[in-house]
Amino acid sequence: MSQKITPELRRWIIEQASAGFQPEAVLASMVASGWNEAVAVNAMESTLREHLRDNPAAMAQAQAVAQAQTQDPSVGVPVPDFALSESPRQLDAGDRMVDVVVTLNNPRVVVLGNLLSVEECEALIESARPRLARSLTVQTKTGGEEENEDRTSSGMFFARGETPEVALVEARIARLLNWPLENGEGFQVLNYKPGAEYKPHYDYFDPSEPGTPTILRRGGQRVATLVMYLNEPTRGGGTTFPDVGLEVAPVRGNAVFFSYDRPYPSTRTLHGGAPVIEGEKWIATKWLREREFV
């Protein structure tokens, strides 16, 4: 027999959260009462996400919890998300309608269509091309950067609002996700030649590494990633999520979004850029932080 997420259940979840019970305890209580675990997780995530978005006081309280994450990284924090509670086919980005292609709740993955126009994709590629260099990864042991054999692309960073196209797309993303524009890092544009890849990894900063506190001073943890496809390789180059057996095809103008409310593998956000087999791949990545990124 299927279990339905009722308004009464949603009210009960909000009451438990407002009383200070941790999500793990609420989930355990639901499962003990006979709820299917997957249904319970979905009910909690969707209910609390909408509650935080619509209740400024609750959001402020959740931000206080986020500050405590430096002492207890197992505590989840608010993350960006789209307004998908009514299962819309499209979302209003202000200057264009964006298609909702695929949604997944655990992990939270949303594939978007028509996020960027063909002209915007071409402009980003041409602006980035002269500044490409071997891609680096964040070195969490020191807080610096390093070459990594797992990442064999070339790339560059735009400052926020650096070009008209960058500014326009950044505003579009902020509106869609209801997340402050200033909480985003600048776009990173990457180019993958045949054979290039980025092996599976996490985007959050490992709290156990000594360099992480230095990195977090610039805006707190990363809490979400948006990968935008600027062209279409002939074969290969998809974005993979090994924990859930998902691969997103690189389609020009489309994007894949995923969020992670804590810096732990339990978020199931292990992901990678599959090797390009034929042609080349161009993407622009936007990482979103807890606070203003400076």
- Quote the DSSP letter at residue 20: T
Rounded mean pLDDT for each run of 10 residues along the chain, 294 residues in total: 78 76 71 78 78 65 49 74 96 98 97 98 97 68 54 87 97 98 97 95 92 91 98 98 97 98 94 97 98 94
Which pLDDT does position 102 carry in this prediction?
A: 97
- Cβ-count burial 155-174 (b if 16+ within 10 Å, e if not): bbebeeeeeebbebbbebbb
Which pLDDT does position 165 carry in this prediction?
A: 97
Ranges of each domain in the chain: 7-54, 90-289
- Report angle CA 151, 156, 159 to the nearest 5 degrees: 135
CA–CA dist 58, 288 (Å, integer): 20
Which pLDDT does position 45 carry in this prediction?
A: 76
Which pLDDT does position 71 carry in this prediction?
A: 47
Assessment of whether the complete model's pTM goes beyond 0.95: no
For 210, the 3-state DSSP assignment is coil
Which pLDDT does position 75 carry in this prediction?
A: 65
Q: Is 209 exposed, middle or buried (0-12, 13-18, 19+ CB in 10 A)?
A: middle
Which pLDDT does position 189 carry in this prediction?
A: 97
Cβ-proximal residues to 193 (8 Å cutoff; 6+ apart), any chain: 154, 276, 280
CA–CA dist 225, 266 (Å, integer): 16
As given in the structure block, the two tokens for residue 92 are 């209003």
Q: Which helix (H) or strand (E) holds 181?
A: none
**Overall fold of domain 90-289:** Jelly Rolls (2.60.120)
Which pLDDT does position 43 carry in this prediction?
A: 82
Which pLDDT does position 151 carry in this prediction?
A: 61
CA–CA dist 272, 147 (Å, integer): 17
